[in-house]
């Protein structure tokens, strides 16, 4: 996977929209930047493991409570098997929405707004039910392949809190990549091609400790800190050749989104084919990392859309 174009050299063909990575891994590709997780990089990541600690990153399925975006709340009930003498049970969840709680945003979640097409020039006709429907860009492609590689955790929340006693991640704020570079330097983190970038802002900790309702607008959209959506951010993310990105906030980028045409969702999902992880529970992992002097480099193992964990080396 050497020789990837720089951000300012995208696209690889003038027939594609500006600054998109369409066609980089072939016109029929459904994985986008996950192609960076080569066997060599997975093997190298496995060799960094130093301890056997395991940290699940799933938040409770019942959270946030009440649900954001006017979604219906998940309902859990235990169903017994008739005639089993109460020896067999199923855990059943009703109203389970894959866009609630911890989640991966797949490549047909948000399009490249400026072109109106999804990653690799896929149209909505290939996604919506109808005569042209296909399985293009479905998240099942990610799940069947799996996401395994080296991840780096940037604990922005801990870094910021040490410098700003009034820091509040529950308020919308755009974080520039220059700040993330400072966090990486403070932690001694260096990036490698194919890394999985995780950012802890402390949003989830603040949510859990909040004694008042989370502020949201009339559509149920909460305020949240997040990365700045800008050309500088897009170039920084692409030129580091991250395989995917994730954070402990609602949308990875500052939310609510001010301009979907210039949003991280439109550019990363629709333009790069880069999955976005949202509302990852990073508290226990970050606390343990803060006690270690090992540059907070971690190995990521993903086995299904709703069950993933990080293993500390």
Q: pLDDT (tens digit, 9 = 90+) per residue, 98-153? A: 888 889 999 999 999 999 999 999 999 888 887 777 889 999 999 999 999 999 99
**Could you report how far apart the first and last alpha carbons of the chain are, in Å?**
25
Does position 299 have pLDDT exceeding 80, yes or no?
Answer: no
> Please, which residues have CB within 8 angstroms of residue 37's CB and are 6 or more apart in sequence?
147, 148, 149, 194, 243
pLDDT per residue as tens digits for the range 36-68 = 999 999 999 999 888 889 999 999 888 888 788
Q: Is residue 113, in this structure, part of any structural domain at all?
A: yes
Instruction: Identify the pLDDT of residue 258.
Output: 93
Contact 160, 212 (CB under 8 A): no
**Distance from CA of residue 250 to its chain's centroid?**
10
Contact 159, 167 (CB under 8 A): no
Average pLDDT on 152-166 reads 95
Q: Is residue 69, in this structure, part of any structural domain at all?
A: no
Dihedral of the alpha carbons of 273, 279, 281, 286, in degrees to the nearest 10: 70
pLDDT per residue as tens digits for the range 220-276 = 678 899 999 999 999 999 999 999 999 999 999 999 999 999 999 999 999 999 999
Contact 153, 277 (CB under 8 A): no
CA atoms within 13 A of residue 11's CA, in its CB half-sphere:
19
Whole-number percent of the chain with pLDDT over 70: 88
Q: Is residue 95, in this structure, part of any structural domain at all?
A: no
The total number of structural domains in the chain stands at 1
Instruction: Identify the pLDDT of residue 211.
Output: 55
Q: Is residue 265, in this structure, part of any structural domain at all?
A: yes
User: In this structure, is the dihedral angle defined by the CA atoms of residues 175, 254, 229 and 252, taken in order, positive or negative?
Assistant: positive
Does position 81 have pLDDT exceeding 80, yes or no?
Answer: no
Q: Is residue 154, in this structure, part of any structural domain at all?
A: yes
Start-end of H helices in the chain: 39-46, 139-145, 156-161, 177-187, 203-209, 231-239, 264, 283-290
Q: Is residue 114, in this structure, part of any structural domain at all?
A: yes
pLDDT per residue as tens digits for the range 191-229 = 999 999 999 999 999 988 875 556 555 556 788 999 999
Using DSSP bridges, classify how beta strands 196-200 and 244-247 pair: parallel, antiparallel or unpaired.
parallel
Tokens for 266? 């439109």
Instruction: Tell me which residue range forms the domain holding 254.
Output: 7-59+102-291
Q: Is residue 307, in this structure, part of any structural domain at all?
A: no
Q: Is residue 72, in this structure, part of any structural domain at all?
A: no
């Amino acid at each position: 996977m050497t020789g990837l174009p720089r951000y300012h050299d995208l696209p690889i063909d003038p027939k594609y929209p500006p600054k998109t990575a369409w066609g980089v891994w072939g016109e029929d590709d459904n994985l986008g930047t996950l192609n960076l997780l080569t066997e060599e990089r997975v093997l190298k990541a496995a060799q960094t493991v130093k301890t056997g600690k395991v940290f699940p990153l799933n938040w409770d399925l019942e959270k946030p409570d009440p649900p954001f975006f006017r979604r219906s709340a998940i309902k859990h009930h235990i169903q017994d098997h008739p005639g089993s003498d109460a020896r067999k049970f199923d855990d059943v969840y009703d109203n389970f929405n894959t866009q609630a709680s911890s989640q991966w945003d797949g490549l047909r979640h948000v399009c490249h707004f400026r072109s109106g097409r999804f990653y690799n020039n896929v149209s909505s006709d290939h996604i919506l039910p109808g005569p042209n429907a296909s399985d293009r860009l479905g998240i099942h492609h990610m799940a069947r392949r799996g996401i395994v590689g080296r991840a780096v955790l940037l604990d922005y929340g801990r870094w910021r809190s040490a410098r700003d006693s009034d820091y509040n991640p529950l308020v919308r704020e755009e974080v520039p990549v220059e700040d993330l570079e400072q966090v990486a330097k403070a932690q001694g983190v260096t990036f490698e091609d194919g890394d999985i970038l995780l950012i802890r802002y402390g949003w989830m900790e603040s949510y859990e400790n909040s004694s008042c309702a989370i502020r949201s607008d009339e559509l149920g959209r909460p305020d949240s800190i997040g990365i700045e959506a800008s050309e500088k951010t897009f170039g920084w993310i692409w030129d580091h050749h991250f395989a995917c990105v994730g954070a402990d906030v609602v949308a990875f980028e500052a939310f609510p989104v001010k301009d979907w045409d210039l949003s991280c969702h439109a550019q990363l999902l629709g333009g790069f084919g880069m999955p976005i992880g949202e509302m990852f529970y990073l508290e226990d992992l970050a606390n343990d990392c803060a006690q270690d002097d090992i540059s907070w480099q971690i190995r990521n193992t993903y086995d299904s859309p709703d069950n993933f964990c990080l293993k500390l080396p």
